[in-house]
């Protein structure tokens, strides 16, 4: 796996902190780029997101379009992916395809008053500073089996039934192996490119619908020279992709072309080049060599649909993001992550998609990976149906980089001089303590407070809530907004209530299940690093590429909880955590107040938090 982590020099710190091999010096991790690509899909198939209901009324269609664009702009998106061919139809006046029934209610029926939805969307999007990408489904003729017998009289599938296949799912598709069908798909894209000022041509994950696709006759007619039908099918799909890429680039209009395939190219059990996953494979089920398209440079970007949560065993989010980041490394192809906004807001509190924390964590993870250039969210209506999601994405996008771009702590004391270890007041019980200087420095930054009697109790175990208060104050992540959404076992009058609510909202903490946090419980070492990891990723200070095997050398690896596996893997990979002399991580050992103060100071200085 490619390593994008910054170089680290390792040292041991006095006292029990040495067990973790904390770092001495580091080149600061780069922040997320200000030109992050932020797209949102607007599906029209089945009238999912546009229009609000099928109609020929031009004013309603305009109003629906403007509402989408205004909200996309308000949420901070930069690009709208407008599905203009949900099946072999069109949301624009086409000389090739009939008007879509999902637009007006009847296939072949045009909107009133000569209204052209694509032309209107392009102009209105550009007026708002948004890109407008024309999203095509290349092979699907019908999205519903009952439509097979109801195609418009001028439908190309009626004119050329020999180019079609009715699959076992009941739907009709273009046969990718038929030269006539390949030309039709290319001509449909050319029509858009020549007549509209679109910023891009985009296709999604609907390639071959399955290995049982009935194309034996086409293979017999056109498959000479291919050792198998599989290789012929792969070549057919690549021909479609290459044709669209060449059309976009040959236009001279700066139009980009990209693909959003299913998130898994191939599992490592299928090929050593595949990802450490166990899910459906584009290469096998869809006959789509999506990795190969990147390596051969016939796409401008790839937007794999990684619609699974962090920690999902079959197809783990961070594993796939890192795998795709490796794929685009050294190429000119951009990587945008396709993300499942539609999954947020699950009613089950035990679901990883309960609330919006999962999508928040995923955004933070993306922004910490060097080769991730942005994301595309599916789909627009998900934000309209979930106000918390709307608020989250607006705030994340308003920041320009991960988290709040202005939430950086001031590294200077009251007189403007830089704070150094030992420069602050010493608590009555820390004068001779090994962590004295670190506690003083963190205290000066407002990260820690002592007790009313002037003590700090450095060797006491720290409570979970106290560490969050320290973390949020130290890194200026604390906010008093929207504090109503907190854990059920946190009293509204608790001194840490607002800080914990802010941490929950930002995805820095996720609780222990059932809406609980257990604030007074001792903080384990693995939770200390997990919470610190999420904060660093949120602020764009940590490159979170993770090699899944890096914990294999520790004999107590099995004790690491699922939620801490990626954080500890990241810190071990970067040399921040080295383990004990006996090869132990000791993930469940409680952390002391002195240890956490030292961790915070080291993170503050080594990640250049003051700049």
Average pLDDT, the chain: 85
Q: Is residue 286 part of a domain?
A: yes
Predicted pLDDT of residue 574: 66
**How much is the average pLDDT of 278-282?**
97
Q: Cα separation of 501 and 485, whole Å? A: 6
Any idea what the Cα angle at residue 132 is, between residues 129 and 138, rounded to 5°?
170
Predicted pLDDT of residue 17: 34
Dihedral sign, Cα of residue 354, residue 356, residue 359, residue 362: negative
Q: Is residue 3 part of a domain?
A: no
Q: Tell me 462's DSSP state.
A: P
Predicted pLDDT of residue 376: 98
Phi and psi at residue 37, to the nearest 5°:
-80, 130
* pLDDT single digits (tens) 110-157: 999 999 999 999 999 999 999 999 999 999 999 999 999 999 999 999
* pLDDT single digits (tens) 549-585: 678 778 777 888 877 888 888 777 766 676 766 678 8
DSSP string, 14-36: TGGGGGGT-EEEEPPPPPPPTT-
The answer to whether residues 91 and 225 belong to one domain is yes
First-residue to last-residue Cα distance in the chain: 30
SS3 230: helix
Structure confidence at residue 456 as a pLDDT band (50, 70, 90): confident
Structure confidence at residue 310 as a pLDDT band (50, 70, 90): very high
Give me the helix-helix angle, 387-398 and 357-368, nearest 10°: 20
Instruction: Note whether 10 and 343 are within 8 A (CB).
Output: no
* pLDDT single digits (tens) 397-442: 874 432 222 222 222 222 222 333 333 446 888 888 888 877 888 8
**Which of 500, 536, 534, 498 has its CA nearest to residue 520?**
500
Predicted pLDDT of residue 344: 96
The answer to whether residues 334 and 421 belong to one domain is no
Q: Which residues contact 469 (CB under 8 A, 6 or more apart)?
A: 495, 496, 499, 500
- Tell me whether strands 79-85 and 8-10 are parallel, antiparallel or unpaired: unpaired
Predicted pLDDT of residue 375: 97
Phi and psi at residue 479, to the nearest 5°:
-145, 150
| E strand residue ranges, 470-590 | none
The answer to whether residues 510 and 527 belong to one domain is yes
* pLDDT single digits (tens) 433-442: 888 877 888 8
Q: Please determine, for residue 268, whether its predicted confidence score (pLDDT) is greater than 50.
A: yes
**Which of 268, 281, 303 has its CA nearest to residue 230?**
281
Q: Cα separation of 87 and 586, whole Å? A: 55
- The residue among 398, 415, 439 that closes a domain is 398
The answer to whether residues 375 and 425 belong to one domain is no
The answer to whether residues 365 and 506 belong to one domain is no
**Which of 265, 357, 267 has its CA nearest to residue 310?**
357
Predicted pLDDT of residue 571: 74
Predicted pLDDT of residue 34: 53
* pLDDT single digits (tens) 166-185: 999 999 999 999 999 999 99
Residue 513, strand partner residues:
516
Indicate the number of domains in the chain: 2
The answer to whether residues 231 and 318 belong to one domain is yes
Q: Is residue 186 part of a domain?
A: yes
Radius of gyration of the chain (CA): 27
* pLDDT single digits (tens) 468-498: 888 888 887 765 554 568 888 888 888 888 8
Instruction: Note whether 372 and 36 are within 8 A (CB).
Output: no
Instruction: Note whether 441 and 601 are within 8 A (CB).
Output: yes
**How much is the average pLDDT of 595-607?**
78
Q: Is residue 512 part of a domain?
A: yes
Q: Is residue 587 part of a domain?
A: yes
Residue 107, strand partner residues:
none
Instruction: Note whether 23 and 117 are within 8 A (CB).
Output: no
- Tell me whether strands 164-166 and 172-174 are parallel, antiparallel or unpaired: antiparallel
Structure confidence at residue 544 as a pLDDT band (50, 70, 90): low
Predicted pLDDT of residue 409: 25
Tell which wins on pLDDT, 385 or 421: 385
Q: Cα separation of 399 and 403, whole Å? A: 6
CB atoms within 10 A of CB 227: 8
Predicted pLDDT of residue 459: 87
Any idea what the Cα angle at residue 516 is, between residues 511 and 519, rounded to 5°?
80
**How much is the average pLDDT of 54-79?**
96
The answer to whether residues 377 and 453 belong to one domain is no
Question: What are the tokens at 509?
Answer: 């903490």
The answer to whether residues 43 and 158 belong to one domain is yes
Structure confidence at residue 586 as a pLDDT band (50, 70, 90): confident
Predicted pLDDT of residue 564: 81
Q: Please determine, for residue 368, whether its predicted confidence score (pLDDT) is greater than 80.
A: yes
Structure confidence at residue 450 as a pLDDT band (50, 70, 90): confident
The answer to whether residues 75 and 156 belong to one domain is yes
The answer to whether residues 341 and 426 belong to one domain is no
Residue-range definition of the domain harbouring residue 91 = 37-398
- The residue among 347, 372, 398 that closes a domain is 398
Q: What percent of the chain shows pLDDT beyond 70? A: 85
Burial of 513: CB neighbours in 10 Å, binned 0-12, 13-18, 19+: exposed
Q: Cα separation of 145 and 134, whole Å? A: 25
Phi and psi at residue 257, to the nearest 5°:
-130, 135
Q: Cα separation of 298 and 275, whole Å? A: 22
DSSP string, 287-319: ---HHHHHHTT--SEE--B--S-TT-SSS-HHH
Instruction: Note whether 271 and 284 are within 8 A (CB).
Output: no
Where residue 277 sits, what CATH number does that domain have?
3.20.20.80
The answer to whether residues 592 and 468 belong to one domain is yes
**How much is the average pLDDT of 582-597?**
83
CB atoms within 10 A of CB 551: 21
Predicted pLDDT of residue 405: 26
CA torsion 163→168→171→176, rounded to 10°? -30
Q: Is residue 1 part of a domain?
A: no
Q: What percent of the chain shows pLDDT beyond 90? A: 58
The answer to whether residues 25 and 58 belong to one domain is no
Q: Is residue 218 part of a domain?
A: yes
Q: Is residue 2 part of a domain?
A: no
Question: What are the tokens at 289?
Answer: 């060599």
Question: What are the tokens at 317?
Answer: 């989010």
Q: Which residue is associated with the tokens 């979170």?
A: 544
* pLDDT single digits (tens) 24-47: 222 222 233 457 999 999 999 999
Instruction: Note whether 490 and 518 are within 8 A (CB).
Output: no
DSSP string, 521-544: SBPBHHHHHHHHHHHHHHTT-S--
- The residue among 398, 415, 446 that closes a domain is 398
Q: Which residues contact 500 (CB under 8 A, 6 or more apart)?
A: 465, 468, 469, 486, 487, 490, 494, 509, 517, 519
Burial of 464: CB neighbours in 10 Å, binned 0-12, 13-18, 19+: buried
Q: Cα separation of 495 and 477, whole Å? A: 16
Residue 184, strand partner residues:
none
**How much is the average pLDDT of 10-30?**
30
Range picked from 313-327, 433-447, 546-560, 596-610 for highest mean pLDDT? 313-327
Dihedral sign, Cα of residue 427, residue 429, residue 431, residue 434: negative
Q: Tell me 13's DSSP state.
A: P
């Amino acid at each position: 796996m490619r390593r994008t982590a910054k170089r680290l020099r390792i040292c041991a710190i006095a006292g029990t902190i040495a067990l973790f091999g904390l770092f001495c010096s580091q080149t600061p991790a780069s922040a997320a780029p200000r030109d992050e690509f932020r797209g949102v899909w607007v599906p029209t198939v089945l009238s999912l997101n546009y229009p609000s209901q099928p109609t020929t009324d031009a004013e309603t269609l305009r109003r629906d379009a403007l509402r989408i664009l205004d909200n996309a702009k308000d949420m901070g998106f930069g690009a709208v992916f407008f599905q203009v061919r949900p099946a072999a139809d069109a949301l624009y006046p086409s000389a090739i395809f009939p008007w879509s029934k999902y637009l007006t209610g009847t296939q072949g029926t045009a909107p009133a008053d000569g209204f052209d939805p694509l032309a209107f969307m392009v102009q209105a999007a550009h007026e708002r500073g948004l890109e407008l990408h024309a999203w095509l489904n290349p092979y699907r003729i019908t999205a519903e089996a009952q439509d097979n017998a109801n195609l418009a009289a001028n439908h190309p599938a009626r004119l050329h039934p020999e180019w079609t296949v009715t699959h076992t799912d009941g739907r009709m598709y273009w046969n990718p192996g038929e030269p006539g069908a390949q030309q039709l798909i290319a001509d449909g894209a050319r029509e858009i490119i020549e007549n509209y000022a679109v910023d891009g041509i985009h296709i999604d994950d609907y390639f071959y619908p399955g290995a049982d696709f009935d194309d034996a006759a086409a293979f017999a007619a056109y498959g000479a020279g291919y050792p198998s039908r599989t290789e012929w099918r792969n070549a057919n799909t690549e021909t479609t992709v290459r044709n669209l890429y060449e059309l976009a680039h040959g236009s001279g209009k700066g139009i980009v072309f990209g693909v959003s395939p299913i998130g898994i190219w191939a599992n490592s059990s299928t090929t050593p080049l595949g990802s450490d996953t166990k899910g459906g494979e584009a290469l096998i089920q869809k006959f789509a060599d999506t990795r190969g398209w990147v390596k051969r440079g016939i796409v401008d970007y790839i937007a794999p649909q990684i619609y699974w949560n962090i920690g999902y065993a079959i197809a783990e989010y961070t594993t796939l993001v890192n795998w795709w980041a490796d794929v685009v490394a050294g190429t000119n192809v951009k990587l945008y992550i396709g993300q499942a906004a539609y999954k947020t807001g699950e009613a089950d509190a035990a679901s990883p998609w309960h609330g919006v924390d999962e999508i928040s964590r995923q955004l933070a993870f993306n922004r910490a990976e060097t080769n991730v250039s942005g994301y595309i969210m599916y789909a627009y209506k998900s934000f309209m149906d979930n106000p918390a999601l709307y608020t989250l994405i607006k705030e994340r996008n308003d920041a320009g980089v991960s988290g709040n771009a202005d939430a950086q702590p001031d590294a200077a004391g009251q007189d403007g001089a830089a704070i150094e270890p030992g420069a602050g007041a010493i608590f009555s019980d820390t004068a001779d303590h090994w962590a004295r200087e670190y506690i003083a420095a963190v205290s000066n930054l407002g990260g820690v407070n002592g007790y009313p009697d002037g003590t700090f109790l450095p060797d006491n175990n720290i409570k979970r809530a106290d560490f969050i208060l320290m973390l949020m104050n130290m890194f200026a992540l604390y906010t008093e907004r929207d504090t109503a959404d907190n854990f059920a076992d946190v009293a509204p009058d608790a001194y840490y209530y607002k800080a914990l609510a802010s941490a929950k909202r930002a995805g820095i903490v996720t609780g222990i299940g059932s809406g609980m946090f257990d604030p007074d419980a001792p903080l384990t070492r693995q939770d200390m690093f997990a919470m610190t990891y999420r904060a660093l990723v949120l602020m764009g200070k940590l490159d979170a590429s993770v090699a899944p095997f890096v914990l294999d050398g520790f004999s107590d690896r099995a004790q690491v909880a699922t939620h801490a596996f990626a954080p500890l893997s990241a810190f071990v990979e970067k040399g921040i955590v080295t383990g004990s002399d006996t090869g132990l991580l000791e993930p469940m050992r409680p952390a002391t107040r002195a240890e956490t103060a030292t961790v915070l100071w080291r993170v503050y200085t080594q990640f250049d938090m003051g700049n």
